[in-house]
Structure 1
Amino acid sequence: MEESSMAESRYIWLDGQLVEYEKATVHFLNTALHYGLGVFEGIRCYSTSRGPAIFRLKEHMERLVNSAKILGFRSLPFTADQLGEACKEVVRANGFQACYIRPLIFHESEKRDLNLDSGVARVGIAAWAWGAYLGEDSEEKGVRMNVSSYTRHHPNVMMTKAKVTGNYANSVLAKTESVRLGFDEAVMLDPQGYVAECTGENLFIVRKGVIYTPGTWAVLEGITRDSLIVLARDLGYPVVETQISRDHLYIADEMFVCGTAAEVVPVTEIDFRIIGDGKAGPVTRALARAFREVVRGEHPRSAEWLSYVNG
């Protein structure tokens, strides 16, 4: 991804106003900080020949509002469309051509109790220049993973269809464990023992020309995941959503993960077992190439998936 010439943000959008970066603060006793009462999105803006363009902005804003609904906010101060326009405003104000955008709806209450109805929803949107999440050479060389000792959330314990800030303690435990063990990322199993997702990415395997991915019953409905399913079918690859066991990973011809931050990254090793020939396979490369064309505005899908910041 191309980087902006500016490494830091100058402005953050907070409750409807652009605020200088250093002044966009909340109080230490904020209930979102203490109890994890917030929902967020991660969105990429890409440099194109028509200027900066945000990838699938509408879908991200709809998921943000849905996350707030799932968490239990009764009302929000802004609509999904208004928040989408605010994302564009943040990119313009900071002068980015390519960046990562982070909208956050968070709870604030003077009572500081465990009742969501005691407070109100506040909203902030930040943006910053951010390269490849799993390493600058991850798309070419691939990454090494292990199956985490930590289980992904049960869908009736923590809502898995919402990007709730508190949910990510689960991901932090797994990611930190894996990095300390010498891996790049962790694969997490669902409460039944089947493959769910990684700490911040959805997962795919390829066997005999067919792409398999876990269903969304226990994982976040990833927008990049959905995009790759569409692109794969455009390219003629069959895609099957099904339960995947841990040993299915070991005998896959290819394995790759995707997410807004990670984009499309091959997995070359899992639990010390080499996947395929230890390199990005042909299906992974084809999908990564199609994805790059989309976000650069060079693909037939670009027209429906890109929102140009400058109109």
Structure 2
Amino acid sequence: MSQQYPEWIWQNGAIKPWPEATVHVMAHALHYGSSVFEGIRSYATPDGAAIFRLTDHLKRLYMSAKIYDIVIPYSIDELAAACRDVIKKNGLAAAYLRPVAFRGLGGFGLSADCPTDTAVAAWPMGPYLGPEALKQGIDACVSSWQRFAPNTIPAGAKAGGNYLSGQLIAREARRLGFGEGIALASSGLLSEGAGENLFLVFDGALHTTPASASILAGITRHTLITLAREEGIDVIERDLPREYLYLADEILMCGTAAEVTPIRSVDGKKVGSGSAGPITRLLQDRFFGLFDGSTADRWGWLEPL
């Protein structure tokens, strides 16, 4: 079955038909990975469609661009309006949003001056790791590929080139029959999933790897830390060795695409009871409760269309 694309996309200041949003084959980003992007979700809530932490995501987009000296020729408010407009134009409520800014056609060479192209796409997307992943959990493996070392590629930027690492990790996991891969940092300690942050539960406390472990410190990660502390759960950011994956009471992955996904086994070793544990279920309830109204949004995370 062929992919069903949405009808409209926002590109360089205007909404246009999807097939017209093209890029030259000599665009700098295509050759050198000079792009930054965000993944954002909108949800259908009892009060209407709302975009989850839109402003926070766009702020991170501009921070990523700053690291790579990519000048985005639009303000945050203009891109926020583009996100809303492309959802409305496509008649969507629950959707996945992809704002992206990249060096387009210009000079040649790594340091060439090139204009910045900017686009925002929106399309329907279900659970990233599969329709049953949120309930049943997934089987994960530790990848043979490590994350990049500090002071090589900045893991704190959400840049297109960074995701070559994630592709290696994810594709290896799929080839071996696992739902997702988990990467170690160059230190040999735990980093994160191919495109998700990690949480491990020990004795009722939530442990997660720090920003120094070559992770993208995700917005969903921050959301879960906030919700967990609201529930009186201790949250500890710390270095974690690989074998802790085999000893944890519960493990979960999180991200905009993956949302809150339990891990039921790692490298064929069962995690806890082999299904989502009580803290994972509590965090799922509180997280998805933001969108059905059962969790009060005291932080202004839901930004209406």
Instruction: Name the TM tier (shorter chain).
Output: over 0.9
1:90 deviates by 0.8
The partner residue of 2:256 within 260, 263, 266 is 260
Q: Does 1:206 align with 2:188?
A: no
Q: Does 1:32 align with 2:29?
A: yes
For 2:26, give the aligned amino acid. Answer: L
Residue 120 of structure 1: aligned partner: 115
Cα displacement string for residues 122-158 of structure 1 (whole angstroms, at most 9, x for unaligned residues) = 1000000010000101011100011100001113111
For 1:135, give the aligned amino acid. Answer: G
Q: Quick check: 2:23–2:104 contact (8 Å CA) kept in 1?
A: no
Q: Quick check: 1:163–1:220 contact (8 Å CA) kept in 2?
A: yes
* 1:76-95 equivalent positions in 2, closer than 5 A: 76-95=72-91
The partner residue of 1:284 within 255, 271, 280 is 280
* 1:133-282 equivalent positions in 2, closer than 5 A: 133-217=128-212, 218-282=214-278
The partner residue of 1:70 within 60, 67, 70 is 67
Matched residues in 2 for 1:131 and 1:300: separation? 23
Residue 3 of structure 1: aligned partner: none
Matched residues in 2 for 1:83 and 1:23: separation? 20
The partner residue of 1:44 within 28, 33, 41 is 41
Structure 1 ranges of 4+ moved more than 4 A: none
Q: Quick check: 2:140–2:181 contact (8 Å CA) kept in 1?
A: yes
Residue 13 of structure 1: aligned partner: 10
Q: Quick check: 2:24–2:104 contact (8 Å CA) kept in 1?
A: no
Q: Quick check: 1:214–1:241 contact (8 Å CA) kept in 2?
A: yes
For 2:63, give the aligned amino acid. Answer: N
* 2:87 partner SS: helix
Q: Quick check: 2:35–2:160 contact (8 Å CA) kept in 1?
A: yes
Residue 304 of structure 1: aligned partner: 300
TM norm structure 2: 0.96
Residue 103 of structure 1: aligned partner: 99
Q: Quick check: 1:41–1:60 contact (8 Å CA) kept in 2?
A: yes
Cα displacement string for residues 209-244 of structure 1 (whole angstroms, at most 9, x for unaligned residues) = 111000112210100000000000001100000001
Q: Quick check: 1:257–1:264 contact (8 Å CA) kept in 2?
A: yes
Matched residues in 2 for 1:77 and 1:203: separation? 34
**RMSD over aligned Cα atoms:** 1.1
Matched residues in 1 for 2:301 and 2:291: separation? 8
* 1:246 partner SS: coil
* 1:224 partner SS: helix
In the superposition, relative to structure 1, how do residues 54 and 302 fare at CA in structure 2: closer, same or farther (>3 Å)?
A: farther
Structure 1: tracts of 5 or more residues without a match = 1-6
Cα displacement string for residues 260-288 of structure 1 (whole angstroms, at most 9, x for unaligned residues) = 00000100000111000101000000000
Structure 2: tracts of 5 or more residues without a match = none
In the superposition, relative to structure 1, how do residues 168 and 298 fare at CA in structure 2: closer, same or farther (>3 Å)?
A: same
* 2:178 partner SS: coil
* 1:139 partner SS: helix
Residue 4 of structure 1: aligned partner: none
Matched residues in 2 for 1:208 and 1:288: separation? 19
Matched residues in 2 for 1:136 and 1:13: separation? 29
Matched residues in 2 for 1:303 and 1:157: separation? 35
